[in-house]
């Protein structure tokens, strides 16, 4: 099609897309083209701004490696990851869901651990925490025999795979729900942590005066054939960054009650003074149990990464 004016460009591209034999490809790409063209019109994008946007997108790819994915990081920082999660869970966005983002650090083959066991596998500072979690189906019935992977940061804000001071698989474990759909374990309370600022995500946050912190959380992954595999994160109710999570991951259903106990009898005799408890319930939906490709396969070598923290402007 020979184009007469700016309106006809969109028509020409949509017309060519209609040739694609895959209905889903046509649907996705036609919507993408309509919205991209509408975006350029709405924003009155200049040529210089368009070239700048292309450079940013190229940089996202150039910075992505085996151990760092700048594309996923910016999708989270723009709320797109959270939106896609909420659209696809909770009866396709109709109800609350305990599903949440997978995050970059799930590892396959976490050590199988008995209920009540500890996932502290090398000396790790921090306040002890005792976690109870229950898994139910959409009708409220306990789900027995679900595998529940758990992983979180140390009190310094590092996952074991980032940290040569922690043993392999420290603060990770795989549990199985009992007939009440229940698992329990002992660990140390995790800390929040900053996301990396080395690329376009850093520029995006600085341009808005945002900080780069995720509030403290524990990750869960619940797997049982017959149910959609659920990734979740349970955020610490006392974290100062709940309202401003840089990845927009905090939902009402996932603010966990991390209860501080001071001097009360703990569930383990060796714990004196302060300790936390966390009780949380998950609901999983009927569907296909699939495991994604793990985003990482082992520990990084070398030093801990430097933690660079941006302050949120007033």
Q: What is the DSSP letter of 47?
A: H
Q: Give least dist CB 215 to Fe ion, A.
A: 10
Residue 187's DSSP bridge partners are 129
Name the nearest CA neighbour of 210 among 186, 226, 194, 188. Answer: 194
In the complex with Fe ion, the residue whose CB is nearer, 160 or 182, is 160
Distances (CA, A) of 164 to 137, 184, 202: 39, 27, 25
Residue 233's contacts (CB-CB under 8 Å, 6 or more residues apart) are 100, 101, 103, 217, 218, 219, 220, 249, 254
Binding mask 75-94 for Fe ion (x = CB under 5 A): --------------------
Question: Could you say whether residue 181 binds Fe ion (CB under 5 A)?
Answer: no
In degrees and rounded to multiples of 5, residue 183 shows phi and psi of -130, 160
In the complex with Fe ion, the residue whose CB is nearer, 10 or 155, is 155
Give min distance, CB of 171 to Fe ion, in A: 11
Write out the binding residues for Fe ion, residues 225-264 only, by CB under 5 A: none
Which of the stretches 64-72, 97-105, 109-117, 166-174 binds Fe ion when contact is defined by CB under 5 A? Answer: 97-105
Q: Which stretch binds Fe ion (CB under 5 A): 42-50, 51-59, 101-109, 220-228?
A: 101-109
Note every long-range contact of 257-261, with CB atoms under 8 Å and residues 24 or more positions apart, other chains counting. 258/129, 258/189
Smallest distance from the beta carbon of 290 to Fe ion, in angstroms? 21
Span from 39-47, 49-57, 100-108, 194-202 in contact with Fe ion (CB under 5 A): 100-108
DSSP 253: G
Cβ closest to Fe ion, residue 36 vs residue 108: 108
Q: Residue 217 CB, nearest distance to Fe ion (Å)?
A: 6
What is the rounded CA–CA span in Å between residue 307 and residue 191? Answer: 13
Angle between helices 47-62 and 200-208 (to 10 degrees): 130
Applying CB under 5 A, among 90, 103, 157, 192 the residue interacting with Fe ion is 103
Closest approach, Cβ 313 to Fe ion, in A, equals 25
Q: How far is CA 301 from the centre of its chain?
A: 23
Contact 180, 115 (CB under 8 A): no
Output the smallest distance, CB 254 to Fe ion, in A.
Answer: 12
CA 25-90-252 angle, 5° bins:
125
Contact flags string 257-296 toward Fe ion, x per CB under 5 A: ----------------------------------------
**Complex with Fe ion: residue 82 or 182, whichever CB lies closer:** 82
- Determine the Cα–Cα distance for residues 153 and 3; give it in Å rounded to an integer: 56
Question: How many residues bind Fe ion, per CB under 5 A?
Answer: 1
Looking at beta carbons only, is 143 or 230 nearer to Fe ion? 230
Single out the segment in contact with Fe ion by CB under 5 A; choices: 60-68, 99-107, 173-181, 204-212: 99-107
Of 190 and 202, CB closest to Fe ion: 190
Residues near Fe ion, by CB under 5 A: 103
């Amino acid at each position: 099609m020979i184009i007469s004016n700016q309106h006809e460009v969109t028509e020409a591209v949509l017309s060519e897309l209609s040739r694609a034999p895959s209905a889903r490809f046509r649907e996705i790409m036609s919507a993408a083209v309509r919205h991209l063209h509408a975006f350029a019109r709405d924003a009155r994008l200049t040529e210089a701004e368009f070239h700048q946007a292309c450079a940013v997108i190229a940089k996202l790819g150039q910075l992505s490696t085996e151990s760092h994915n700048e594309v996923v990081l910016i999708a989270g920082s723009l709320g797109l990851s959270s939106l896609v999660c909420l659209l696809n869970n909770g009866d396709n966005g109709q109800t609350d869901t305990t599903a949440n983002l997978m995050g970059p650090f799930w590892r396959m083959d976490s050590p199988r651990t008995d209920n009540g066991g500890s996932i502290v596998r090398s000396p790790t500072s921090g306040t002890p925490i005792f976690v109870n979690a229950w898994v139910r189906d959409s009708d409220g019935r306990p789900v027995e025999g679900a595998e529940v992977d758990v992983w979180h940061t140390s009190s310094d804000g590092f996952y074991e795979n980032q940290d040569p001071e922690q043993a392999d698989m420290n603060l990770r474990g795989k549990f199985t729900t009992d007939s009440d759909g229940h698992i329990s374990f002992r660990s140390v309370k995790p800390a929040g942590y900053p996301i990396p600022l080395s690329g376009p995500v850093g520029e995006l946050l600085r341009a808005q005066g945002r900080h780069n912190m995720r509030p403290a959380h524990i990750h869960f992954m619940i797997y049982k054939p017959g149910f959609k595999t659920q990734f979740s994160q349970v955020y610490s109710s006392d974290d100062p960054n709940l309202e401003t999570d840089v990845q927009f991951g905090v939902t009402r259903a996932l603010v966990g009650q991390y209860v501080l106990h001071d001097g009360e009898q703990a569930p383990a005799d060796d714990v004196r003074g302060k300790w936390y408890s966390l009780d949380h319930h998950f609901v999983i939906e009927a569907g296909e149990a699939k495991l994604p490709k793990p985003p990482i396969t082992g520990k990084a070598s070398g030093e801990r990464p430097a933690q660079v923290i941006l302050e949120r402007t007033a």
